Chain A
Amino acid sequence: MSYLAYAVAAWLFLAGGLGIARSRHLVQTVVALSVAQSGTYVLLLAVGFQRGASAPIFGAGTPLKASGVVDPVVQAMTLTDIVVSATVTALLAALAIQVAKLHGTADPDELRSLRG
C-alpha cells in the first residue's frame, strides 16, 4: 500500500480542523467536522487494504483466493464510525439552526453569549 492514502487521511483531518478554527459560519463548522472525520474513514480503510485482495465475503460457494482478502475488521469499524458521525452531525446541525434562530447570526465571531 502506498503512502498516498495515509497522506490523504492526514490532510483531510487537518483541513477539517483548520476549517473549524477559521470558520465564519456554523454550518461550515459542522461540515468541516465531517471532513475531519472523513480522514478517519480513509485511514481505517487504508490500514486494512491489500493490493489485489478480494472483498471479505465468505460462503460455501466462494473459494478462498490465494491473494487473500482485505481486513473486514477496519471496515466494520468504519461503518460504526459512519453511524456515529450521522448522529453527531445531525445533532450539531440542529443545534446550529437553533443558534442561528436565537442569536440572529451563524457567525461564531459574533456569538457573544459565552465569555470568560
Chain B
Amino acid sequence: MLALPIVIPLLAAAVLLGVGRLVPRRAGDAIAATAAVGTAGFAYAVLRGTGDGRVVAWLGGWRPHGGRGVGIPLVGDQVSAGIVLLTALLVLAALVYGWRYHEDVEAHYPALMMLFLAGMAGFALSGDLFDMFVFFELMGAVAYALTGFKIEDPGAVQGGLNFGVINSLGAYLTLVGIGLLYARTGRLGLAPLGEALRGHGADPLVLAGFVCVVTGFLVKAALVPFHFWLADAHAVAPTPVCVLFSGIMVELGLYGVLRVYTTVFGGVLAAGDVRRTFLVLGVLTAAVGAVMCVAQRNLKRLLAYSTIAHMGLFVVAAFLLTADGLAGAVTYAAAHAGVKAALFLTVGMLLNRYGTVDEHDLYGRARGWGVPLLLLTGAAALSGLPPFGPGLGKALSEDAVTAAGYGWSPVLFVAVSALTGGAVLRAALRVGFGAGPHPSHARGAEETGGGEETEVPLRRIPATMAAATVALLAGGMVIGVVPWPVRAETFLDGSGYAAQVLHGARTGMAAHVTHWTATGVAYGLASSVLAVGVALAALYGPVLPAAVRRSAAALRPAFLVLRRAHSGHVGDYVAWMLLGVTILAASLVTTL
C-alpha cells in the first residue's frame, strides 16, 4: 500500500513511453491524469492510515529481527504522506492546465511528469538514506529534462544545463556524505544510522557526513548561497513545470534536511548549534530573495525569487526544531504551494495570450477581469492577508519564532511578506489596470531570460486552464480557514521513529491544531497594508519625496553587486556552492 504512490506513476511512465507514440496525445494525457488521480487517492489512504503516528512497510518483506536487518523500509507519517498527496494534486493540476496549454508536445512530456511524481513520492516516503539519494537523483534528472524541455529555446537549454550541473554536483556531495556515514557505522537506513550514531557520538567524520549530505538537499532547497539555479530554471521551464518546482520540489529539499537531521543526527549534533546556523541561512535567504523579487520585471523570475524568500521563512520556522515552528512551516509551505502554483499558472495565461512575461511589455494589456483578479487575489494571499492560508502559516511561524526568544521575528516575516506580496501586487496593477506612469524601457535591459518560447496563442482562456488555476488558489486559501491538526511532534521524534521502524513499537503524539491569534491577524493586516505601500511606491516612485529617493539611490550600488552575482554562469554558481559548503562546515565545527 505504501509503495503504490511510487509504483503507479512509474508504471504509467513505462506505459506512456511504450505506447505513447501509437495512441493519440489526449489518450496519453488521460493515462497520466488517471495515474495522478490514483496516486493522490492512495496517498490520501496512507495519510488516513498514519493517524497520530507512522506506517512502515518493508520492501520485499525483509523485516528486521531484534532491531537488525538488511531490508529497506518505506515510512509514511503525516508530513511525508501529505507531501505525496500535495505532489500528486499539483501534478494533476499541471496536467489539466497543460491539456490546452501545450499544443504539440510528444508523449514523453506526460511520461516525464509521471517519473517526476514517482521520484518526489519516493524521496518523501523512503526510510533509507541511499534510497533517498536514488529518488533524489531521479527527480533531479527528470527536472533537468523538463527545464530544458523546449530544446529550440536558447534560454531553456542553458537554464537546464546550469540546473543540471549544480544540482548533480550537490547530489554527488550527498553521496560522499552517505559514503562517510556508511564508513563510520556500516548502515544506510535512517533509523539504524541514528541508533548507531547515538551510541558513537559526534566526531569530525560524522560532522563532515552531515555537511555533505545536507548540501545536496540545500541546493535543491535553494538556500543562499546555493540558490542561483532556481530563478534561471523557473524563468525558462514550461509554466506547468514551474508549478511543481516552486510548489513542492524546492520544499522537498528542506524536507530532506529535516528528515535526515531528526532521524540520523538528532542524537549527536546539538540542536542549538544547528538551529543557529540554519536561522542565519534562512534570514539571509529571505532577505536576498525578497530584495531580488522586487527588482524583477520578468514575472516568472519575480515569482521564483519570491519562492526563495519564502523558503527562507520556512527554514527559519522549521529549524527552531520545535513542534510549533514545524507546524507553522508545514502550514505555510502547503498554503504557499497552492497560491504560488496558481500565480505561475496565471502568468502562463499571460504568456500564452500576449507572448511575453515582461511586466513592462504587458503594461495595461490584460483586459477583462479574470487574470487581474487572479493576480490580485494571489498577491493578497502572498502578503499574508488573513484569513487566507499563507497568512495563517506566517502567523503560526511568526509566533513560534518569537516564542523561541527571537523578538525580531515579526519584522522579518512582515517585511518579506510585504515585499514579495507588494511585487506581485505592483505587477497586477500594472498589467491589469495600467496603473502608474508607463514604465520606460530606457532604463536599460537589466535582466534577460524572458524567453519561454511562446505557445500557440488561444483566443480565450480555456476552462481547463482556468479551473486548474482557481482550484489551486482556492486550495491554498482554504488552509487558512479550516482548523487542521499538524503532527509536527511525530515528525521531530527521532527516537520514536527508530523504535517504530526497528522494533515495531507504535508511538503516537499529540497534534497541533492550527488556529489564528490576535497578534497573527494584526501582523497579517500590517504586512498586507505594507505590501500595498510597496506596490504604490514602485508604481509612483518618481513622485516620492526627494529624501526617500536619495536614500534609495544610496543603496543602489549594493543592490547592483547583488544582482551581478546572479550571473547565469554555471562556474560562478559552483564556486558559490563550494564556498557555502565551507561556511556551513565552519559554522558547525562548534558542535564537536
Residues of A within 8 A of B (CB): 9, 13, 16-17, 20-23, 26, 29-30, 33, 36-37, 39-40, 43-44, 47, 73-74, 77, 80-81, 84, 87-88, 91-92, 95-96, 98-99, 102-103, 108-109, 111-116
**Minimum Cβ distance to chain B for residue A9 (Å):** 8
Given contacts A36-B169, A99-B154, contact A116 B446 (CB under 8 A): yes
Given contacts A39-B176, A47-B182, A114-B155, contact A84 B566 (CB under 8 A): no
Given contacts A21-B578, A87-B141, contact A116 B566 (CB under 8 A): yes
Report which of A77, A108, A116 forms a contact with B563, defined as CB distance below 8 A.
A116
B188 at the binding interface (Cβ < 8 Å): yes
**Minimum Cβ distance to chain A for residue B142 (Å):** 10
**Which B308-348 residues have C-beta < 8 A from chain A?**
none
Encode contact with A along B563-588: 1 for CB under 8 Å, 0 otherwise: 10011111110110010000000000
Evaluate contact between A114 and B578: CB separation under 8 angstroms: no
Encode contact with A along B156-175: 1 for CB under 8 Å, 0 otherwise: 01111110110011001101
Evaluate contact between A112 and B182: CB separation under 8 angstroms: no
**Minimum Cβ distance to chain A for residue B138 (Å):** 8
Given contacts A21-B575, A22-B571, contact A91 B141 (CB under 8 A): yes
B14 at the binding interface (Cβ < 8 Å): no
B364 at the binding interface (Cβ < 8 Å): no
**Minimum Cβ distance to chain A for residue B478 (Å):** 36
- Nearest-CB residue, chain B, relative to A23: B571
Kindly state the separation between the CA atoms of A108 and B570 in the bound complex, as whole angstroms.
7
Given contacts A44-B179, A113-B155, contact A20 B141 (CB under 8 A): no
Stretch at the interface among B145-153, B241-249, B384-392: B145-153
Report which of A26, A39, A47, A74 forms a contact with B161, defined as CB distance below 8 A.
A26
Listed A/B pairs (22) with beta-carbon separation below 8 Å: A13-B172, A20-B570, A21-B572, A21-B578, A23-B570, A36-B172, A39-B172, A43-B176, A44-B179, A73-B182, A88-B164, A95-B148, A95-B151, A98-B148, A98-B157, A99-B161, A102-B152, A108-B569, A111-B568, A113-B451, A115-B448, A116-B301
- Nearest-CB residue, chain A, relative to B131: A80
Encode contact with A along B187-224: 1 for CB under 8 Å, 0 otherwise: 01000000000000000000000000000000000000
Tell me the interface secondary structure of chain A in the complex.
helix
B134 at the binding interface (Cβ < 8 Å): yes
Evaluate contact between A114 and B176: CB separation under 8 angstroms: no
B232 at the binding interface (Cβ < 8 Å): yes
Evaluate contact between B164 and A113: CB separation under 8 angstroms: no
Residues of B within 8 A of A (CB): 130, 134, 137, 140-141, 144-145, 148, 151-155, 157-162, 164-165, 168-169, 172-173, 175-176, 178-180, 182-183, 188, 232, 235-236, 292, 295-296, 301, 446-449, 451, 563, 566-572, 574-575, 578
**Minimum Cβ distance to chain B for residue A78 (Å):** 9
Evaluate contact between A17 and B578: CB separation under 8 angstroms: yes
Looking at A20, A22, A33, A95, the one whose CB has the most chain B CB atoms below 10 A away is: A95
Closest 7 CB pairs of A and B: A114-B568, A116-B447, A102-B154, A47-B183, A114-B449, A98-B157, A95-B161
Q: A39-B172, A92-B168, A114-B236 are in contact. List 13 more A-B contacts (CB 8 A).
A: A9-B176, A21-B575, A22-B571, A29-B570, A36-B169, A47-B179, A77-B175, A88-B141, A95-B144, A102-B152, A102-B154, A114-B162, A116-B447
Kindly state the separation between the CA atoms of A91 and B154 in the bound complex, as whole angstroms.
16
- Nearest-CB residue, chain B, relative to A101: B157
Report which of A37, A47, A113 forms a contact with B568, defined as CB distance below 8 A.
A113
- Residues of chain A within 8 A (CB-CB) of B569 are 108-109, 111
- Residues of chain B within 8 A (CB-CB) of A43 are 176, 179-180
Kindly state the separation between the CA atoms of A73 and B128 in the bound complex, as whole angstroms.
14
- Residues of chain B within 8 A (CB-CB) of A26 are 161
Evaluate contact between B448 and A92: CB separation under 8 angstroms: no
Evaluate contact between A17 and B169: CB separation under 8 angstroms: yes
Kindly state the separation between the CA atoms of A91 and B153 in the bound complex, as whole angstroms.
16
Total A-B contacts with CB atoms under 8 angstroms apart: 142
Kindly state the separation between the CA atoms of A25 and B193 in the bound complex, as whole angstroms.
41
Evaluate contact between B160 and A113: CB separation under 8 angstroms: no
Kindly state the separation between the CA atoms of A17 and B575 in the bound complex, as whole angstroms.
8
- Nearest-CB residue, chain A, relative to B236: A114
- Residues of chain A within 8 A (CB-CB) of B566 are 115-116
Looking at A9, A30, A102, the one whose CB has the most chain B CB atoms below 10 A away is: A102
Evaluate contact between A40 and B176: CB separation under 8 angstroms: yes
- Nearest-CB residue, chain B, relative to A97: B157
Evaluate contact between B148 and A40: CB separation under 8 angstroms: no
Looking at B137, B144, B165, B182, the one whose CB has the most chain A CB atoms below 10 A away is: B165
Evaluate contact between A95 and B168: CB separation under 8 angstroms: no
Evaluate contact between A95 and B160: CB separation under 8 angstroms: yes
Report which of A73, A92, A114 forms a contact with B235, defined as CB distance below 8 A.
A114
- Residues of chain B within 8 A (CB-CB) of A91 are 141, 144-145, 164
Evaluate contact between A113 and B449: CB separation under 8 angstroms: yes
- Residues of chain B within 8 A (CB-CB) of A21 are 571-572, 574-575, 578
Given contacts A113-B155, A114-B162, contact A84 B134 (CB under 8 A): yes
Evaluate contact between B448 and A116: CB separation under 8 angstroms: yes
Kindly state the separation between the CA atoms of A99 and B169 in the bound complex, as whole angstroms.
20
Kindly state the separation between the CA atoms of A92 and B235 in the bound complex, as whole angstroms.
19
Evaluate contact between B158 and A114: CB separation under 8 angstroms: yes
Evaluate contact between B449 and A115: CB separation under 8 angstroms: yes
Evaluate contact between B447 and A115: CB separation under 8 angstroms: yes
- Residues of chain B within 8 A (CB-CB) of A37 are 168, 172
- Nearest-CB residue, chain A, relative to B175: A40
**Minimum Cβ distance to chain A for residue B432 (Å):** 24
**Minimum Cβ distance to chain A for residue B131 (Å):** 10
Evaluate contact between A80 and B155: CB separation under 8 angstroms: no
- Residues of chain B within 8 A (CB-CB) of A103 are 154, 158
- Residues of chain A within 8 A (CB-CB) of B183 are 47
- Residues of chain A within 8 A (CB-CB) of B572 are 21
Kindly state the separation between the CA atoms of A20 and B145 in the bound complex, as whole angstroms.
20
- Residues of chain A within 8 A (CB-CB) of B158 are 99, 103, 111, 113-114
- Nearest-CB residue, chain A, relative to B134: A80
Kindly state the separation between the CA atoms of A99 and B162 in the bound complex, as whole angstroms.
11
**Minimum Cβ distance to chain B for residue A36 (Å):** 6
Kindly state the separation between the CA atoms of A43 and B177 in the bound complex, as whole angstroms.
10
- Residues of chain B within 8 A (CB-CB) of A102 are 152-154, 157
- Residues of chain B within 8 A (CB-CB) of A40 are 172, 175-176, 179
- Residues of chain A within 8 A (CB-CB) of B145 are 91
